[in-house]
């Protein structure tokens, strides 16, 4: 087995014990990184010889979110590809696509871990371009400056994803928006977010009913033949002068309404997913007086995010985090919620895309 692994072409392999001390380093690993086995063997990852960082900018070699450390702690192989960036012997950052697996003894106990990696510069370059394009479809900094009562943040499970948040002007000084969550994540789902954006453009500046946004998208989606994917969505139209909010729902998780006294509750809006059923009727509750209140719309990755023991943060956990951060400006609360959920997972990447939209009604007239 040692001879087979040592002669794999283009695939670096290294094996560690549970303390992440490197026990095996194949020839391809030496070629990709510039470090010979004599320089690596016996050294621990915490010595930071490879200086691994992830796409979120986190240093991995001494952390529990290192993909290899995470898989040994969970006792399970990584289920998705992960990109890390190693520092070569020449001082160059090398993008790598990595797969990790724990090594177990005959009784099922984890005794080490194995990482298989390959140089992925071209792949990362292409995904960075796709990421740059997708970000143009999402809420822009200039919009959030123009509409400071809105907050937005996201963290994709991969470099591109299937969550879409879109903000645009409505008639009479209103602001309209949508948060959609397409099944799956990655490149295919990201392409479908572009499809949704292209079909939202004709509505910008004209639509004053959130259900109209959903009916428009659902009708086009039904005629498109895109039957392999479905999605949930929540649309809104907000009048910041009157502080009145209208919502419409298509199978999306219930939004959180934080009341003026700081208590919070979920607004149950049952309805069907788009693309899974033929129905074009979407739940639209009575208009909400948002004065003194705050509404939080989120993708289901926020409540379904698991920690290493498999416990999900759940609706109760997200509600508590929302209540704790209600004094923050909307943009800061949105980012704080993403950061808190991602930290809860203690994982290399989120299992699913994480997205938050915050709509703040400002202080109540009596305050």
pLDDT digits (tens, 9 = 90+) for 16-35: 999 999 999 999 999 999 99
Give pLDDT, residue 51.
83
The pair phi, psi for residue 66, each rounded to 5°, is -55, 130
**What pLDDT was estimated at residue 144?**
95
Question: Looking at domain 128-360, which CATH architecture does it have?
Answer: 4-Layer Sandwich (3.60)
Return residue ranges of the chain for CATH 3.30.450.20: 2-119
Q: Is the pTM of this model over 0.75?
A: yes
C-alpha span between 204 and 171 (Å, rounded):
9
* pLDDT band, very low/low/confident/very high, at 363 (cuts 50, 70, 90): confident
Burial 198-224 (b: 16+ CB within 10 A, else e): eebeebeeebeebbbbbbbbbebbeee
Look at residue 367 and tell me whether its pLDDT is greater than 60: no
Identify the residue whose tokens are 């009341």: 259
pLDDT at 278 over 70: no
Average pLDDT over residues 221-234: 83
Alpha carbons 131 and 158: distance in angstroms, whole number: 10
Q: Reply yes or no on whether the pLDDT at 193 is more than 70.
A: yes
Model confidence band, residue 366 (pLDDT cutoffs 50, 70, 90) = low
- The answer to whether residue 283 scores a pLDDT higher than 70 is yes
Helix, strand, coil shares, percent, the chain, to 5: 30, 30, 40
In this structure, what token pair is assigned to residue 163? 């969550």
What single string gives the DSSP state of each residue in 167-182? EEE-GGG-EEEEEEEE
Pick the CATH number of 2-119 from 3.40.50.12780, 3.30.360.10, 3.30.450.20, 2.130.10.10: 3.30.450.20
pLDDT tens-digit readout, 141-173: 999 999 999 999 999 999 999 999 999 999 999
The encoded tokens of residue 292 equal 């003194």
Residue 99 near residue 81 (C-beta atoms within 8 A)? yes
Cα–Cα distance, 293 to 82 (Å, whole number): 40
The closest alpha carbon to 8, from 111, 159, 115, 89, belongs to: 115
Q: How confident is the model at residue 50 (pLDDT cuts 50, 70, 90)?
A: confident
Range with lowest mean pLDDT among 75-84, 129-138, 175-184: 75-84
Higher pLDDT, 104 or 79: 104
Give me the pLDDT at residue 285, please. 83
CA 65 vs. chain centroid, Å, equals 16
The pLDDT score that the predictor gives to residue 279 is 63
Mean pLDDT of the chain: 91
User: Among the listed ranges 77-91, 211-225, 297-311, which one has the minimum average pLDDT value?
Assistant: 77-91
Each residue of 289-322: pLDDT tens digit? 999 999 999 999 999 999 888 899 999 999 999 9
Task: Identify the residue with better confidence: 288 or 285.
Answer: 288
Please, are residues 236 and 177 in contact by the beta-carbon 8 Å criterion? yes
Give the mean pLDDT of 325-338. Answer: 96
Q: Are 60 and 68 in contact (CB under 8 A)?
A: no
Q: Where in the chain is the domain with CATH 3.60.40.10?
A: 128-360
Predicted confidence (pLDDT) at residue 41 exceeds the cutoff of 90: yes
Q: Is the pLDDT of residue 52 over 90?
A: no
Q: Are 230 and 244 in contact (CB under 8 A)?
A: no
Q: If residue 72 lies in a helix (H) or strand (E), which one and from where to where?
A: helix 67-74
């Amino acid at each position: 087995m040692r001879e087979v692994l040592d002669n794999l072409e283009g695939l670096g392999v290294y094996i560690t014990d549970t303390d992440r001390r490197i026990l095996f380093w194949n020839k391809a690993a030496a070629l990709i990184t510039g470090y010979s086995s004599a320089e690596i063997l016996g050294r621990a990852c915490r010595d930071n010889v490879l200086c691994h960082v992830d796409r979120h900018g986190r240093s991995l070699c001494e952390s529990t979110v290192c993909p290899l450390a995470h898989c040994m702690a969970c006792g399970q192989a990584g289920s998705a590809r992960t990109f890390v960036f190693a520092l070569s012997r020449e001082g160059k950052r090398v993008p790598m696509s990595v797969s990790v697996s724990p090594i177990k003894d005959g009784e099922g106990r984890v005794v080490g871990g194995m990482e298989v990696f390959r140089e992925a510069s071209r792949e990362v370059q292409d995904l960075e371009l796709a990421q740059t394009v997708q970000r143009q479809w999402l809420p822009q900094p200039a919009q959030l400056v123009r509409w400071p009562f809105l907050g937005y943040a996201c963290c994709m499970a991969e470099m591109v994803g299937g969550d879409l948040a879109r903000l645009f002007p409505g008639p009479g000084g209103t602001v309209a928006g949508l948060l959609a969550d397409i099944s799956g994540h990655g490149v295919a789902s990201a392409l479908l977010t572009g499809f949704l954006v292209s079909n939202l453009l004709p509505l910008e500046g004209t639509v004053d009913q959130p259900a109209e946004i959903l009916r428009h998208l659902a009708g086009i989606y039904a005629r498109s033949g895109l039957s392999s994917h479905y999605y949930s969505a929540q649309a809104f139209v907000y009048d910041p002068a009157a502080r009145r909010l209208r919502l419409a729902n298509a199978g999306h998780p219930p939004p959180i309404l934080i009341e003026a006294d700081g208590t919070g509750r979920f607004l149950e809006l049952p309805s069907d997913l788009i693309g899974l059923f033929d129905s074009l009727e979407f739940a639209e509750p009575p208009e909400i007086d948002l004065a003194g209140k705050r509404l939080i719309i989120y993708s289901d990755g926020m409540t379904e995010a698991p920690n290493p023991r498999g416990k999900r943060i759940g609706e109760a956990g997200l509600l508590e985090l929302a209540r704790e951060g209600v004094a923050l400006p909307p943009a800061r609360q949105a980012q704080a919620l993403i950061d808190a959920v991602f930290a809860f997972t203690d994982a290399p990447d989120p299992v699913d895309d994480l997205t938050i939209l915050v709509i703040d009604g400002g202080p109540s007239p009596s305050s």
